[in-house]
Structures are given as C-alpha cells and as structure tokens.
Structure 1
C-alpha cells in the first residue's frame, strides 16, 4: 500500500500518535474538595466553642479592655465566618473543574479515535478510484469537536482583618475576673492547636491539587495566607488576654486603664527582648541561682528531648514569655519557631524609628503572610521560609546569599525574589529557606570574603541548620536538600560541606572561590551559572587562599553561561541572583535542574 498515494485531511495526525493528556489528577482534586468541606465544617464547630469561652470570659469584665476584648472576639468571628464561606465555595469550583476535565478527556479520546478511523478510511480510499465507500462511511462518522474545552479558573480569596488590642472607652478603670480570663487563654490555646491542624490539612490538600492539576487556571488565591493570618491573630489574642489576666491578678481584679496600659505595654516589650525564663534553667543552667552554673551548650537533640518532656502548659508559657529564644533555638519544631517569631514580629513592627518598608515587613510576618524560622534582629539573625512543608513537598532549597547581605535586603524583599521564583514555578513541591543566620560576609574586616576562618565559621552554621533544623523536620529530612549560592555564598557553602552538610545539587550563582581542602561530595551534582561578562571570573587564577572558582573547574561544575547582552561588571554579577522579573531564564533552568535531580 505504501506505493500508492492517498489523501489525508489537513490537521490529522499520523496513526498511533496520541494527543497529550491534560494535567489533572481527579483523585487529588477530589481530596481537595472533601478537605475544604470538612475544614469549613470544623471551623463552624470551633466558632461555637470559641464563642462560649469568650462569653464566659466577658462575664464580670468591664471597662476599656472589656470593650476591646468584645471587638477582638467579634473580629475573629467575622474572619472565621468569611474563611468558612470561602472554603464552602471552593469545592464547587473544583468539582466543576473535575466535570470539565472529564469532558475534555472524553473529547480528546473521541477525537483521537475518529482520527484513527479517518486515517484508515483515507488509506482505503487510495485503493478506491470512486471513493464511494469513503463517502458513505465518512458521512456516518462525523468529526467530533476539535476545539479544546477552556480550562476553568479556581479562586479562593481571603484576608484576615487587623485587630486592635488597645483599650478604648469605658471610663477610667477596668475590672475582670482573672480566673475566667485564664480559662479563655487555656481553651483558646487548645482551639488554636486544632486550628493549626486544620490549616495543615488545607495546605497539604491544596499543594497536592496545584502540583497535579496544572490544567486548571488559578485566579486570586490568598486563602491559605489568610488562614495563617487568622491563626496568628488568634495566637496573639491568647497572649494578649494572658497579659491582661496577669495585670488583673496583680491588681486584685480592678485597675486604672492607665496602669493597665503601662503593664501590658511592658509585657509586649518583653516579647521582643526577654531571653530568660525559669523553665530554661533545665536546658541552659543558671549561674545566678545558689549553687547554679551554666551547662554546656545543648545539642539540637538535647533541646528536642527537653521540649518533648515539657507539658503543654509549659511549652505555651515559654512561647508567650520568651518567643525570642524559642523562635531561634535548634531542636524546636519549625512550626513552633514560626509561631514564636510571628509574636516577636509584632514587637518589631511596633518599634519607633522604622521605615515604612521595615514596618510593612514585620507586619507581614506577624499576620502570617511571611514565615520566619529564625528572627533575632539584634544579633543579625533571620531565615525566611518560602513555601510550606507538606507531605507533597519534594525538595528543600537553602539559599545562601553573597557579600553584603543584610536585614534591609529582606525588608525590601530583594533577597527572597530568586527563591520565590523557584517556589512559584513548583507549587506545593518546593520549599526554600533564605538564610542569613548571624552577621554576614563583608568586603573587608574580620568577616571579609577572603577570610577563610570566618567563611568556615559561617559554613559551620549552615551545616548546623541543615542537620538540626531541616534535618530534624519530619518532612524536611525525607526530601532531598539543595543549595543555591550567590557569590561568596558558594564559599560559605563549600565550608558547610566540609562541616558535613550534604546536598543533592549545589548551584553556584556567579560563585566566588571554594574553600581550601574542599573536595566535591560524591553524589552531589554541581552547577555554575553566570552571565558571559562576569567580573568574578577575575578570581579564576587566584589560588593563594582558595581552591579555585566554579568557573575554573568545569570538570566539577557543569557550566551554564547566559547571554547578558552588554551588561557586565557588578550589574551582571548581581542580576544572576535576582528574581524572574529580570532573571527568568536562570530561575527556570535551575528549577528544571532541581526537578530532574529528584
């Protein structure tokens, strides 16, 4: 038959070739629908319980702070109702998408089957000079629709409203029953634990949906950020009411609003400054106690065992009293560190003398828009987590910045842009930690980028973070860790590898030199990315204090050289670590390389 020409209608594919399937996992879409309905119902049930405990606390509570308490509880109820409504509506959109996906798959299958029949009829027509059989069969077998069904759009928008905790109106004094306020604190703390579990369920279901249902377009999706904000606001409510209860306990039940204001202000100040609590003595010791002394620095394992050995009430007391310690202590679960750092962020946001950019950043941490696994500005410590660790997470990335990285680069969101691009391109599957744990690399002085002992000390801290924070998390320890390193960040990372850190891939972004005695780790894939006019290549021949640069070692680092046009010097050097707006090709390629290494 191959010797005879025959007619194939335009647009038909060759026999045996199939149209690509749409990316839509009906099972995981169903999981999202079911989870959203279940969580919406649980939120409604919680609302009743929280209302009851709030009503009890409001009994015998009068004055300015009673008014503030009522308004805070009303705001919480309204936010919870709005979120529940969003989650009630989300399954309708997802289920509609499931129907459309089924219809589109059926359309494609029908069209592919018709194409095969048409191909066979066309082949037979070449042997039929009159084509009568073809005409009869074709007339009885019309072509199904070749127009794809438009992908639906899923949206779920929710933003938590800010709550004012300032006493207002109600005369010169306030009074309350501290026992009832303490009851509110205890019951609300338990409800917050349940709320966090509901948030985790939604995060997991949404991550599964977005990572496997790319056919669906996403509209405005802010409900998870809003959900986290609701949790953070509720956690602060517990802290705030606890402070009020303490003030009334000291006053005997009635106090002037001015004294209450000062007492609560003092308590709030302690959130961001206090580093001592008697419960910490069991971990660190206390040289000021009779016969006391400092203990050796506890390991993350020691901290983890100590934390598990505390009661729920003791853990809550520590989070409320010394969040600055708990939020930065290796061995404490990541979720607890995030909660503690959200509390201290309220203190930092309220400090005087801040720029608008600084205040906005700390407010975004306090309301759950951004999450910090380390936050201690006085000691130049900050580690921001981009994304959420869930059962569908497939890798972590630690981003190690270059020389001169500072807190202001976090406030401006400049330093996070690269990681945000990687996480956005891998919804639900990638989590990145933007790292600057302590004073960072400088151009000169004791932390200069050619001071090897300083670089190694920073590398030791990176290795500790990989082992003691990511490596102890139930999700983080089971997925491959990766590193993206800019400029001197590569030097620090090579020091981290010398200290025992291990990565699936290491990506040099115009990386500087490698530490002396560094050797590539077996099983790690090394990549070097730069624009073609890269100023740091001037270090290629410098071996006085280094082990070469990634650009000078192509046998270790796979080279990825990008066309930067006429851009060169520091502009090209800095651009390589920027976000997709100015650096899309690099971000996309690194994301692809990391996915391929799974």
Structure 2
C-alpha cells in the first residue's frame, strides 16, 4: 500500500500484480504446450470416424483450436497490461517520493534549520495517468454435437475415441487448476490494486466457457465411444457403424421429437439395438408419449400376414427392441398385450437373478436365528422363483411386473381376432405379491376364461395394496384402515384408469366388451377408476367395499353385487355414532346402492352363525369373504352367475 501526497492513499500492491502476470503467462504457456497433444489425439480419433458426428467433432476441434488461440492472446495481453500498470505505478511512486522529500526539506528550511540550503524547485504535483487493465471477451465458436437430420449413419473405432477422451480430460484437469489460479490472482489484483482501472470479467468468463466446452466435448465423445462399444465395436472388431439416431439418443436425447424417436426406433439396426440397452434417456421419452401413439407406431412394424419370422407374430425389429429393453417395453402403456408379455418373458433372466440373490440372502439370515430371519419372506421368495420359472416357460403371461414396487398384472387368455370379452379383475385388501405366485387371486379369472369363449382377463395389482405387508407380501392387520382411505383410492383409481387406456389401444382388445370385477377393496379401486374417467360395460362387485363420495353410476354400465354374509358386510352395517354414517366408506357401499343388482348367497357354514360374537363365527365370516373370490365348489352358484353376467 502506497501513499499520495498529504496522506491520500494510492492502492497498488506490486506483489499482487506479479502474481497475476505469472498466472496469466503460465496458463498461456500451458495452453500452447497442449496444442500438439490435443491435435494428435483428435487426428487419431478422426482416422476411422465417419458420418455426421465425425463432422461435428471435426468442427468442434477447429472451434477449440481457435478458442485456445484467442485465450492465449487474451492472457498474454492481460500480462502485458498489468506489467504496464506496474511500471506506471512505479513512476507514480517515484514522483510521490520526490514530492514528499521536497516537502520535508522545504518545511525544515522555513523553520530555520536549513539556512543556505537550496531545496530546488517543487516537483510536479500532476498525478500520473491511472492505467486501465481491460480485455474484450475472447471469441469462442459454438460447439455443436448434433445438427441437421439424424438420418444416416456414423462409424468409428471406440478405442481411438476413448484415447482422445483420456487426453482431453488430462488436459482439462490441468487447465482447470491453472484457471483457478488465474481467477484467484484476478480477484487479488482487483482488491489490492484499485489505483488501476480494471475490468477483467472477460478473463474469468472466457476461461470458464472454454473449460465447460472442453468438458462437454470430452463427455459427448465418451458417450459416442460407449455407444459404438455397446454396439459391438473395439478390439479385433475395430470400426463399427450405428445410425446417427442412436448417437443423438446417447448425446442429446431431449433434442429428438416423439415422431423422430419412433421413426428411428422402427428402423434400428442390430448394432443400434445393442447400443440402446446402455442409453437411458430415450426410455423416459417413450414413457411420456400418448399410449395411442405407441400403439400405432408398434402396429406399423408388424410383419405382413403370412410372413415367417424368427419369433411368431413379431418382426425382426420388434424382437430386437423387446430384447434390448424388455423392462421398458414390458411396462409401456400402448404396447399390445402380447408384445408386453413377450418383453416380460425376455426379462425373466434378470428378474430371476434378483429373486435368487434375495432368496440366498434370506436363507443365510436363517443361520443367525429367528430374530434375524423372516420365514414368511423366505417362503415368498421361493414362490417367486417358482412363479418366474413358469413365466420363463411360457405357462404364465405377465403384462406387467415390477417386484420392487409391488406391481404385477397377469394376463389369462390370448388376445386375438376371436376376443369378445375383456375382464379387469382387481383383488382386495391385503393382496400381496405372494398370493399371485401361489395362484390365489387368479381363480375367478381362470374360471371365466375357461367357461366363456373369447375371454381375456387381466388380474391387476399396480402398486402396494391396503394392508399389504412390505417385505413378506402377506397381510399387515395394523394397516387395515388403508382400505377405507379416500386419498389412496383416488390415486389408485387414476392409475387403473391409465392402465385401461393403455390396454385398450390393443387392436384385439379395444373393441371387446369391457368388464370390471372387484373383490372387497378392489371394487373401490374399480369405481375410483370410473371417477378418473375409465368406463366399463359391466362392473361386478364381489363383496365390494365402497365408492368415493363423488362416484356416480354410468348410465351405460350394468352394476351387480354378489356376496355372502361376511366380515365386510357385517361391518357395513355398523354406524359411526359421531357422523351417523356407516364406518365403511361412510355407508356408500354397493350393498346399499340401488344401482347394483344384489345377489346374496348362503355360505356352507352359515347355519352355525348366531350373534356373531365368537372367534369361530368370525372365522366363518372371513371364510365367506374369501369364498366369493374363489373357484371352490361351494362358490359354484356365484361363479355360474358371474359366467352369465359376462355372457349377457
């Protein structure tokens, strides 16, 4: 810190200036020294790189080269300007020193202490012009990784691309550290050398932009290399070709429109499809599309009638896509039912590995004693493995399966030109995954499929059900209140309505009669889907729980309620003393609604029922509740009437 005459501050720290000069010169020298290595790596990468993305890379190499030169010139200019400012500060310092010395001598002489001393003329009081340190923003061209139409193909050797990426990233790490030193030195200079008029925002901004662009180049080139490698390139194979569309998906998936994405997927090559399995972005785009658009796109790839294909009913591209992303297509609304079933069958090896690993872990826990081991979970996992092996063999058809989110929809029957009836069957409270594995909730649907020609049934569970135990898939009685939860029913109804919309895009299913059957809470799920916009020709309640308060019967829908006297029906007769309404769905139950045609049946042990105040009587009521959803001989009358209703 220096002083002006009469005690006015002149702020200029020579050490801060020297640090900025050194930092700028070091970075400029580093950027120059890197040119040869970067050029060599880029040239090697371009040797076998062909197509639109090679052209983009070539242009970006040229843009990077020009930007590097601009930055070198800018940094050298800053160093020169700061050196000039330092020189000016030194001139000003000497002037101030001379002026101070003259002032002191003059004062001493006037006081009589310097008689006969010649103090000389007064030095100049004119301040040295304060220098300006400022640079314009370095010109840096836009780096582009996708331009024009994604039609056509590109080819490359991924090993040479990865080699270039490695070089780029080494340089980037070095440049980032150097840029941080320059930025710190700029801040220090601006703080400690305020005597200078400085504007060095362009230095920080230029370096930041350069580093960001180089980082993007390395990331995009790495994505492209990974895509070529996934498609089968590298090693002895060397150069491989993939479509430009797959490279767009790898580098900038959000830039493809829905129609462009679907168009690309419908013409994907085998190499493209291999690469697709490693690229996540396009899958999210597909999930966001309207199911009818997905259905029309898939139908456009169907093989011509009578064409022999490797897998019956699927063209080569369709089978390639299902194989590449079975978990995606097996859960994608708008996909035809048989395509989803095929996708989930292809996904079984992955699902089995996960289930078998969980089973192995559960069995190991059993070695540590009962406190660590849940035998119910072990049994459920054993059942899951057996069930998935049935799917693998084609004996069970999965329309949807997500074991981690408790989502499963099993299709019973085969959609075809003879399909006349479609049933959506929703089971009730406590339904977990394990009861699907053991066949407990498929009984009514299997019966109707066998007894009513032209029937396809979907046994539906999309998410955790009320009272479902989280890990073992059995009942959790502490959560029974969820079966009376309006918010859960409303959300679940929206999900079921979405399922119905997607399922009915299938050309074999959309023209068929639609029947919804709900057991217990499943009826709340079904009627809530009506609130969300789903429509059914028939709704059959099997001891149904209730409806949302804003549910309204549809004028074109036939409603029926089949039941025994059971635990739920007993509860529907209980009144809340505070609200004066029923405790179950506030009395808005199918048994109390005239819109439902009522069909009551006597259970096999009803003669033993009296005041309903013993455990044995409670067990009979629970058995009756489950009986209506079974294929037991004791339920024969109800089953035959369900058959009649579906056939009407």
* TM-score of the pair, normalised by structure 2: 0.46
- Asked which structure has the greater CA Rg, the reply is 2
